[in-house]
Amino acid sequence: MLRAFSLSFCGLALGIGLSACATNTAQQSTAAALPVADVSEWQRWFPDAQPPVSEVLANNNDLSASAARARLAAANAAVAGAARQLQADATLQGNRSRRNIVSTSGLTPVTSNSYDLALNLSWEVDLWQRLSLSHQAAVSEYRASEADIYATQLNLIANSYRAWFNIAEAQAQQRLQAKNRDIFSDNAEIIERNFLQGTAIALDVRLTRSSLANSQNQLIQAESTVAERQREFQLLASNLQQPELTAELPANSTPLPANLNTSAIELRPDLLAARLRLNANNARYAAAKKNLLPTLRLTGSVGENSRDFKDLFDLQDLVWNIAAGLTAPLFDGGRLRAEQAQAAAQKDIAVAEYAQAVLVAFNEVRAGLANDEFFAEREKAVAVALEESSQAEALAFDQYAAGLSDILIVLDAQRRVLDARSTLLQLSNLRLQNRINLLLALGGSATLTAQTDATKVTTL
């Protein structure tokens, strides 16, 4: 019977309601600390595992790339926010000219100086919230990039545990194959001794030697797998000089932690990022529609013109002007309408991707819970097979020693024991890998609650 569980879509339903995106400036956003994943929940689920997670998080290149993308998104948000602010620039200009003046006495050269000092101001009045919407989109993209960092961290933690248990299984399989090789080596010695004494036939010798050679091959393959798993972890840690790890699979399977927090799915960083990008695309679509409306820009300048530089800063001679301009698009070859259609398509893509991400998230939890019970049942069945094959191995060897059966039965019984032990190791690792996937599907100890006010789906 599969574990019953109840999951609610309420917090993840599309069109939750109208909610403003975060409008903090990019400078404030970048000043905030980037999210850091918590490993305490992973330690609670896997208390016997000790992968060097901190080293992986410190050195991994994928995480560095995610942090760089977050900085890029913050800069983009700062650029978008700057368009809403007053723009000011100052100019200082000096000019010296010479011209000839015609007089009764002929051409008279005249040299003159001119100095200009001006402060120019410009501000676009955000009549239709177009600039605010563009800024909101950029800030949502930045928040999504923060969630991407958190998702990358959780995936690295999960991959660290995956690699740890893969190494543990590979090393256990290596020990099993080494023990199996020793058993076949002892068998070969016994059979050869019996052959020399006339109590065994040549066929038995050949069969045991073949089994010994095969066990040696399997041992070499197991050693190769251990080395490969070690290299995989070194690559994960972005350190090819990482010392080799020694890991152990848990001796006994433990039940799932009680009171699984399925509500944490809402805080999964991939879903947070999808919601934030949906917000961004909604805002871009609304801004694209506002591009069809007139824009109002206020301009002004204050300054002074003087023939003498020292009089340039005389405040009594200041001149100024203020102007307002209203600009409306009349004909652009359909560009603005096409941009609006692009934004609408991007919004629809984001809606579909978010809906699919929600379905995938809940299906991952459902599959993880179901698979855990399936693996538990398989472990029980293989444990019975191991017990029976172990008893059969002892009986087969006793009967062979008594001359009641041939060596093939002994070798087959030993193969069955080996297969059962190897399968148990594989199942133990597969169940642990499934629990890693389940914890990741449940949010992986997600703690991005500080961003919930900026992650509600905004419908514009």
Domain parsing of the chain, residue ranges: 10-84+129-293+336-454, 88-125+294-327
Q: Which pLDDT value is given to residue 255?
A: 79
Q: Is the pTM of this model over 0.75?
A: yes
Task: Encode 8-41: b = buried (16+ Cβ within 10 Å), e = exposed.
Answer: eeeebeeeeeeeebbebbbeebbeeeebebebeb
Q: Mean pLDDT, 10 residues at a time, over the chain (460 residues)?
A: 41 34 40 62 88 91 93 95 92 84 74 85 92 95 94 94 96 95 91 87 91 94 96 92 88 74 80 94 95 92 79 74 90 92 95 94 93 94 94 90 84 92 95 94 63 42
Residues 382/420, Cβ–Cβ less than 8 Å: yes
Residue among 46, 83, 15, 48 nearest 282 (CA): 15
pLDDT of residue 446: 52
Second-level CATH architecture of 10-84+129-293+336-454:
Up-down Bundle (1.20)
Does residue 11 contact residue 456 with C-beta atoms inside 8 Å?
A: no
The single residue listed with the structure tokens 């040299």 is 111
Distance CA(383)–CA(209), nearest Å, equals: 29
Which contacts of 48-55 are long-range, i.e. CB under 8 A and separated by 24 or more positions? 48/248, 48/250, 49/161, 49/164, 49/165, 49/247, 50/164, 51/160, 51/161, 51/163, 51/164, 51/233, 51/245, 51/247, 52/160, 52/237, 52/245, 53/156, 53/157, 53/160, 55/237, 55/239, 55/242
Domains 10-84+129-293+336-454 and 88-125+294-327 share a fold: no
Q: Give the pLDDT confidence of 146-197 residue by residue, as tens digits.
A: 999 999 999 999 999 999 999 999 999 999 999 999 999 998 998 898 889 8
335 Cα distance to chain centroid: 36
**At a CB cut-off of 8 Å and minimum separation 6, what does 140 contact?**
21, 22, 276, 277, 279, 280, 283, 454
Instruction: Round to whole Å and give the CA distance between 167 and 103.
Output: 101
CATH architecture of the domain with range 88-125+294-327: Single Sheet (2.20)
CA gap 444, 365 in Å, rounded: 12
Packed helices 202-236 and 407-441: angle between N→C axes, nearest 10 degrees: 10
- The answer to whether 175 and 249 are in contact (CB under 8 A) is no
Q: What is the pLDDT of residues 20-35, one digit of tens each?
A: 333 344 444 443 445 5
Long-range contacts of 167-171 (CB under 8 A, 24+ apart): 167/226, 167/229, 167/230, 167/233, 167/245, 167/247, 168/247, 168/248, 168/249, 168/429, 169/249, 169/425, 169/426, 169/428, 169/429, 170/222, 170/225, 170/226, 170/228, 170/229, 171/226, 171/246, 171/247, 171/248
Apex CA 240: angle with CA 237 and CA 246, to 5°?
A: 70
Q: How many CA atoms lie within 13 A of 84 on its CB side?
A: 19
